[in-house]
Amino acid sequence: MQLEAGLSKQVAELLNQIEQDIWTEILDEMREIDDERARAHYYNNMGVERMLEYDTAEAYAYLRQSLLEDITFSSPWVNLGILHRREGYADYAESAYLQALKYDDSDLQAM
């Protein structure tokens, strides 16, 4: 019985160490983003929230600010395309989608 308890403790410690190693590896591999990209994410998210509320002017303003923070961030370009398409501006929507693909040619939402 004592042998089983000792083995269980060793197994638990080993599993704990493996879990810690995995988390350390995941965190090490996580990409840090600069402040401009972080702000671009924020403004993009705010723009999407306004789009969901059908507040077109505010959505556009937030998406524009997102692009001013980081013009290479494809998500606000995609969302701007969605906004333009929803408002009936197909040509502007296409231009926005093409910009998104220019900066991230694997962005499936823009395709």
Q: Identify the residue whose tokens are 């929803």.
A: 86
* Residue 6 pLDDT level (bands cut at 50, 70, 90): low
Question: DSSP assignment, residue 31?
Answer: P
Per-residue pLDDT reduced to its tens digit, 47-91: 999 999 999 999 999 999 999 999 999 999 999 999 999 999 999
Give the pLDDT mean for 36-53. Answer: 96
> How many CB atoms sit inside 10 A of residue 48's CB?
19
Give the pLDDT mean for 87-109. Answer: 91
Q: Identify the residue whose tokens are 């993009």.
A: 44
29 has a pLDDT exceeding 70: no
Question: Is 19:12 a contact under the CB 8 Å cutoff?
Answer: no
- The DSSP annotation for 12-55 comes to HHHHHHHHHHHHHHHHHHSPP--HHHHHHHHHHHHHHHHHHTT-
